[in-house]
Each structure stands twice: as structure tokens, then as C-alpha cells.
């Protein structure tokens, strides 16, 4: 392994026919799900609603602050659809889970910047930590210096300003193995081989 960069600072559905509703002027039916908030309040939304949609239904200001969501005790992407009744907590920078999600996304942003600046680099893990994030990266024969880190920060800022969305995509394990095999990234392949029992990633 080359070096570590730090930056501090299929589910079944059940529903009650009474909760069916028509979607606008469409003849199709969608069913409603109950979203329970931390204070016990319950609101109904169409199935497939996202935490970000819920936040927008409350206020645009809140939606701008949402970084992720706790759905039935698990941290989810704010844009991941919810298809069944759920207990929901919207996560912002004021929540530890919100900060962790932000740092995790920042690690992915750094990886994108590294691939742009130093093609051929290989990646292992890039998790958040209490006060930032890091990514274990093998740049091959390249030696990293202070100027490289300044260029990396500049590229990250450039990419961040593009405001590209983070999209969750589950793929079969075989497809993931094929992708990283073609890419020649043995570190990710090692991680995949260690994740037994899962079919999608």
C-alpha cells in the first residue's frame, strides 16, 4: 500500500387498501406509507418518497441542510426511496451521523480528484473518522509532495462546485468483480472477496 491521505477538521411490501390513492390525474394507483418523526408525529407520503422529499415538504431551508437520514435505525442516503412505513430522522451537520455521511462523501470526492490528477492510482478504503476522513491510495511509482496535495485540494474544490449528485447503485457482486478486474484494482478486489454472503454491492 502506498500512502494514506487525511483530511481533518429484496424487500416485501404490505399495505392497507384504504391507503391507496390516485396519483394526480393518472389512472395508476400508488399507496401511502406512514412516516413517523422523532417527536412521534406521523405523516403520510406516497411510497417511494425520499428523505429529501420529506424535508422539502417541511421547508426548503431544512432540505438544504439535510445530509442523510436515519431510516428505521439505519443511515440511508437522503435520495434513497422509502417503500414501507418507517421511522425517520433527518440528519444534518448537527448530528454525528450527518457529519459522518458528509466526510464519507468527501472521501469519494477526493478519490475522484485523485483519479483525475493521477490516473492509474489504486484505492483501498476511504472511511470517515471523528474529525475528517482519509483514503488509502497506491499511486504506483509516483511520489506525492506538498505541491501535489495543493493541486488535489484545488481539484476537489473544482469538482465540488460542479454539484454533481451522489447516486446509490447496487450491482451484483460478479459485476463489481468484473469492473475492478478490468480496472486492475487489486485492493478493491481484495475487499470484495472479504465480503461473503452479500450478492449486491
Question: Any residues with CB less than 8 A from the CB of 144 and at least 6 apart, and which?
Answer: 3
The closest alpha carbon to 190, from 134, 149, 141, 138, belongs to 138
The closest alpha carbon to 11, from 177, 170, 196, belongs to 170
Question: Any residues with CB less than 8 A from the CB of 187 and at least 6 apart, and which?
Answer: 1, 122, 123, 124, 136, 138
Residue 174 predicted with pLDDT over 80: yes
Q: What is the pLDDT of residues 138-159, one digit of tens each?
A: 888 888 889 999 999 999 999 9
pLDDT > 70 fraction of the chain, expressed in percent and rounded: 82
Q: Mean pLDDT in the chain?
A: 84
CATH topology of domain 3-7+101-193: 3.30.980
User: What is the dotted CATH code of the domain comprising 17-96?
Assistant: 3.10.20.30
| Mean pLDDT, range 48-64, rounded to an integer | 96
Residue 20 predicted with pLDDT over 70: no
Residue 185 predicted with pLDDT over 90: no
- Joined together, the cell numbers standing for residue 57 give 415538504
Confidence label for 96 from pLDDT (cuts 50, 70 and 90): very high
| Mean pLDDT, range 43-61, rounded to an integer | 96
The most distant pair of C-alpha atoms in the chain lies apart, rounded to whole Å, by 64
| Mean pLDDT, range 89-118, rounded to an integer | 93
Domain ranges of the chain: 3-7+101-193, 17-96
- Only one residue has cell 457529519, namely 99
Q: Write phi, then psi, for 19 (nearest 5 degrees).
A: -100, 10
pTM of the model: 0.71
The closest alpha carbon to 189, from 181, 198, 197, belongs to 181
Amino acid at each position: 500500500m502506498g500512502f494514506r491521505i487525511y483530511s481533518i477538521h429484496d424487500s416485501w411490501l404490505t399495505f392497507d387498501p384504504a391507503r391507496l390513492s390516485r396519483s394526480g390525474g393518472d389512472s395508476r394507483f400508488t399507496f401511502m406509507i406512514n412516516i413517523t418523526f422523532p417527536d412521534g408525529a406521523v405523516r403520510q407520503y406516497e411510497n417511494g418518497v425520499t428523505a429529501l422529499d420529506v424535508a422539502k415538504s417541511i421547508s426548503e431551508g431544512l432540505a438544504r441542510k439535510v445530509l442523510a437520514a436515519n431510516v428505521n435505525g439505519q443511515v440511508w442516503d437522503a435520495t434513497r426511496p422509502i417503500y414501507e412505513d418507517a421511522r425517520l430522522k433527518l440528519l444534518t451537520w448537527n448530528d454525528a451521523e450527518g457529519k459522518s455521511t458528509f466526510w464519507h462523501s468527501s472521501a469519494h470526492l477526493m478519490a475522484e480528484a485523485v483519479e483525475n490528477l493521477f490516473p492509474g492510482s489504486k484505492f483501498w478504503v476511504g472511511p470517515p473518522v471523528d474529525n475528517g476522513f482519509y483514503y488509502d491510495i497506491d499511486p504506483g511509482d509516483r511520489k506525492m509532495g506538498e505541491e501535489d496535495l495543493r493541486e488535489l485540494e484545488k481539484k476537489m474544490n473544482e469538482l465540488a462546485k460542479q454539484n454533481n449528485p451522489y447516486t446509490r447503485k447496487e450491482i451484483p457482486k460478479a459485476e463489481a468483480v468484473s469492473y475492478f478486474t478490468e480496472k486492475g484494482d487489486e485492493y478493491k478486489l481484495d475487499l470484495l472477496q472479504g465480503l461473503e454472503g452479500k450478492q449486491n454491492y
